[in-house]
Amino acid sequence: MARMNPENDFSGWLPIRAWRRDGEWRLDWCWFGETRLTRPFFRDDVDQALRLPFNQAFRRETDIQALLDWQGESPGVAPGAFIFHASRCGSTLMAQMLAGLARNIVLSEPPPLDNLLRAHFLDPYAARLQSGWIEALLSAYGQRRCGTEEQLLIKLDAWNVFEAPLLAGLFPDTPRIFLYRDPLEIVVSQLRQPGMQRVPGMLGPSALDELVPGGLAMSPLEYSCRMIGAILQGGLELCQRHGGVPVNYSELPGAVWGRLAPLLGAESADEARLHEIAAFDAKQPAMAFQADGQRKRDAATDELREAIVRWAAEPYQLLERLRLDGADKAVVRKFTHT
């Protein structure tokens, strides 16, 4: 297969890793051919692809210039929507529903995008070049590998909400959604099963370092509440200043075929399929979905409730006010008419 592609042709290949070596940013590519991205997370699709004998025998590693050249040779489908979220609030469900429609390319937290969005924290020189890199990376992901793809939908990592202004500036006509839920429920989930952002230092340099300084000296409960509060505040600023649409977990799954349908390109003919996917657990598709919000609230201690009030309640309540006031309707109309 490698002989079919000249050196500068990446048809059927996708970037799976971005990293810096000796001051230069580089990429690993993996052969996907016409295989769609349908698993809960991009890394799951990568793990599956890397099991192919071809990918075990052939690897491609390039500099960033190869990515830029590929964009010039073959511009992909432009991003159709960015899905930001506060974690543990239905974003994987939304991504799985949208991935169930063959016309969609759905990226679910691809590590190379996170790496390049946060490149300036590791490498100040990257700040001048990041915009071009990110446009080229999304162009590579937006390639029509099956021939039926019509739009590229991107679910980001929770901490990428702080890079939302950069993406909004690069793609001003692309809708931006911010998913969130009661911070009490998010923190209970994070304390039970920590994400990378919940453990100070594990994520690597990010905006959280400045917004929640001194995390190593805090208890897991305090750091979790302050971290979720900072992400909710980032989501609030996205909605207030950069045309983001606030969406509460409680609106799912109906909002995907309801008020968000114009933003996500969902059509009335898709509703039955979307219902079908939403009946199953997004992260464990073999299991039926079960709402767990009440169980999480029942598990919260008085200490946790007090910490939520101190660190996370205000941005949540302001997001709810924004959503319930319908202030986002004008934003929805704007992107619908784009």
Residue 4 domain flag: no
Question: 84 CB contacts (<8 Å, ≥6 apart)?
Answer: 156, 158, 160, 161, 164, 176, 177, 178, 179, 235, 238, 244
Residue 2 domain flag: no
Give residue 333's pLDDT. 67
Residue 5 domain flag: no
Question: Model-level pTM greater than 0.85?
Answer: yes
Residue 175 domain flag: yes
Residue 261 domain flag: yes
Give residue 292's pLDDT. 80
Residue 86 domain flag: yes
Provide the domain limits for residue 294. Answer: 14-336
Find the mean pLDDT for residues 269-284. Answer: 87
Token duo for residue 104: 């969609």
Find the CATH number of the domain harbouring 293: 3.40.50
Residue 6 domain flag: no
Residue 9 domain flag: no
Which whole-number Å values give the CA distances from 83 to 3, 23, 56, 63, in the listed order?
37, 31, 33, 28
Q: Taking the CA atoms of 41, 47, 53 and 59 in sequence, report the sign of the dihedral they define.
A: positive
Which whole-number Å values give the CA distances from 127 to 122, 156, 210, in the listed order?
10, 19, 17
Span 62-89, pLDDT tens digits: 999 999 999 999 999 999 999 999 999 9
Span 113-127, pLDDT tens digits: 999 999 999 999 999
Q: Domain tally for the chain?
A: 1
Is the pLDDT at 7 greater than 90? The verdict is no
Give residue 330's pLDDT. 66
